[in-house]
Chain A
Amino acid sequence: MDNKELIPPGLTYLADNIASKDNILGTSKGTGAKWAKELHLPKQMETIFFAGCGYQYNSELESLMSLIRKIDKSAVSTELTMSLAGFQKKLGIDASGIYRKVMTRGSGADAQPLRDAVKVLDSLGVKFGYLADEEPCCGGLLYFIGLHKEFAKHAQEVYARLKSRGIKRIIGIVPSCTYTLRNLIPDSIDGHDLEVKHFCEVVSEGISSLELRYPREVKVTYHDPCQLVRYLGLVEEPRQILRAIKGIELVETEWTKGEWATCCGGGGGFEAVFPELSQILAVNRAKELIETGAEIIVTHCPGCIMQLKAGLKELKAGGVEVLDLAQIVAMAMGV
């Protein structure tokens, strides 16, 4: 006997998408890889860049979340979590239609951090490929929501797919995918021998000799994503990068920084179960960050970017931008 009915349905919806479509949003195969079309990255390389679901589907996620939040605030909200998928049908919401609309509008404009990350790695002389439509979903969400058997099975498949392509090293960028690839998948695989690094580790190792200058003088603050700072332990790397860029003044919150950083409210599918509460937490975090007087909030996670943007919007703090660390570095390199 199991108790899968005790998993809030917002999460089972996402988990089902991993199983059926190999990405958390259930969009069709290959949609996510569009961002890299013009970049002509090779598929067959020993080192690959792992883009993950988050950034690739960010624009879809934002539309979907704003919709979910509207429903969650309405009178029928309590029904929402009973069955997200069913509820979408009931209201006539066509999730894949929303994705299509967004895709035709700008083909993944929100995947800019990915394009910038690729340019940065290129400039640093890193040789790497990208699996594009063959990149698997890391499956980390399955683990976090408690579906460990499904996760273990998925991990075997992911590992086999990566190994069959002769891959030896992975450079991840989404914090949770990177943690899953680096820590969780190895726990499920005997003799695991893939090396996994995070983008910001590669960058912090490579930039010391470079002259980096941001196009203008600017005050920025840094928001640590939970999985990057507390799971992967990357506290200094992003700060070292930001401090190396001329023109950038790093202003931090007094207490809630580094390992004490406050979660943006978007952790582990939480936003799908408690959309409105998640937004309240996003507002709280955005408030802490703008109290530093920063003009740009730099972070390094697609979930955090989405949350913080929503938080700033609610606070009507239109003058403050949210950018990914990869975007900042690309601009500072002039690429």
Chain B
Amino acid sequence: MSVFTEYKKEIMDAAHNERIRLALSRAIASYRTNTNNALKKFPHTIKMAEEVREIKENAISEMEQLAQQACEAIEFNKGKAYIAKTADEALKIIGELVGKGKLIVKGKSMTGEEIELREYLEELGNEVYETDLGEFIIQKLHSRPMHILSPAIHVPKEDVAELFSKITGEKLEPDIAKLVATARKLLREKYFEADIGMSGANVVAADTGTLFLIENEGNIRLATGAPPVHIALVGMEKLVPTLGDAYKVAEVTWRYANYTVPSYVSLVSGPSKTGDIEKVTTYGAHGPKELHVIFMDDGRTELAKHPILRQALYCLRCGGCLYECPVFAVTAGHFGDKYFAGIGAVWAAMIDHNLEKAASLAYTCLTCGRCKVRCPVEIDGAEMVVALRKLIVEGDRLSQPDLAL
């Protein structure tokens, strides 16, 4: 079967799955209500989103300098920082830091999914626990995320109960509060036993080297706070010049991600330290003794050269567009590759270099344009998809989009 035929079968199976449709129709209704209420309560967000668009536009043009600057800042803070040109380089750096036989607790990271980090670490002989509840469910189901923020958006509570019953060996009812408590119990000790905690970052301030981690569950605080080592993998598009810029990006991100106000935002700039005994700075007080940050390019600086497709790099990963996509509403992340829907087609082509998959996704986009109406930074999904179709069918060299113009 060709890639397209196989893909078409997959999305049609999804489209016939009543549970996916039910789960999504509930999620969409609640997303719209929550986000509209959040924007009503904090109306300054809309103006701030315009500023963020400008911040991102400028930052994407100077990702390499910002990465350099952030590395220097992190080193100054006594962390270690690295720039990985490719996915393989990123894996190699992390692989060498981790080694084998380690227990790792991980926060959810789409950049990690992009390079299949968990699978790589497991192959090296490590035990990896996804700690985000949705991601934990996905890991245990041997499935893949179906939404960038809510990876298990397509799994109803009955299926979670069945899964957790299998893991714990006791019969669990599909009672959401009890299921959440079960996950808490299963993971609690792992944070303190773990050798390494891993995370991504929602945005990074280059001037101070500060990573912003937005969450509600508290798993990221534990995973990046309890183990002796914290490793963060960050796509270079997450960099902005200043701490002030990063605050704005963070606030707009969580508001459009329907969080109104998230329970936790962690700012991490260096390893844990204390000077409380004789003013002698000592590293590894209560938090990690080591902080390693890997800034990964993996095609991003090339993508930034394309006048239309570069918009994909402005993405804050709030996930709002997905709730407005009529195709996503019936197929979930099956309309996707590592990333989803129309913008996912761009990532499939430019980052994953999977042209056939990219074409399949690009021609699944309705080019209806509603994603742009939702997007806080006005990414024009339809415009990108049409430009991508042109790139694909006219056979321009995707790896060098500058030559394609």
Contact = CB atoms under 8 A, between A and B. Distances in A.
Given A260-B373, A270-B366, A265 B8 contact: no
B283 interface: no
B329 A284 contact: yes
Interface stretch (B84-92, B229-237, B289-297, B392-400): B392-400
B369 interface: yes
B370 A263 contact: yes
B188 interface: no
B15 interface: yes
A323 B392 CA distance: 38
Nearest to A4: B393
Interface string A240-281: 000000000000000100011111010110100110110011
Contacts of A263: 326, 366, 368, 370
A145 interface: yes
A277 B21 CA distance: 13
Contact of A149 (B363, B366, B386, B394): B394
A2 B1 CA distance: 22
B306 interface: no
B78 interface: no
A265 B11 contact: no
Contacts of B355: 3, 6
A267 B394 contact: no
Contacts of B363: 7-8, 11, 145, 270, 273
A284 B366 contact: no
A263 B8 CA distance: 20
B393 A3 contact: yes
A230 B393 contact: no
Given A78-B8, A281-B326, A146 B394 contact: yes
B390 A148 contact: yes
A281 B370 contact: no
B330 A274 contact: no
B78 to A, nearest CB: 49
A41 interface: no
A268 B366 contact: yes
B4 interface: yes
Interface in B335-367: 355-356, 359, 362-364, 366-367
A3 B392 contact: yes
Interface in A1-17: 1-4, 6-8, 11
A146 B394 CA distance: 8
A281 B389 contact: no
Interface in B260-297: none
A230 B329 CA distance: 20
Contacts of B330: 277, 280-281, 284
B367 A277 contact: no
Given A230-B373, A263-B366, A277-B12, A3 B395 contact: yes
B331 to A, nearest CB: 8
A82 interface: yes
B8 A81 contact: yes
Interface in A108-131: none
13 contacts: A2-B394, A2-B395, A6-B355, A81-B5, A143-B386, A146-B362, A147-B393, A230-B372, A260-B370, A262-B326, A267-B366, A276-B15, A281-B326
Q: Which 6 A-B pairs have the closest CB atoms?
A: A146-B389, A2-B395, A263-B368, A267-B366, A6-B359, A230-B369
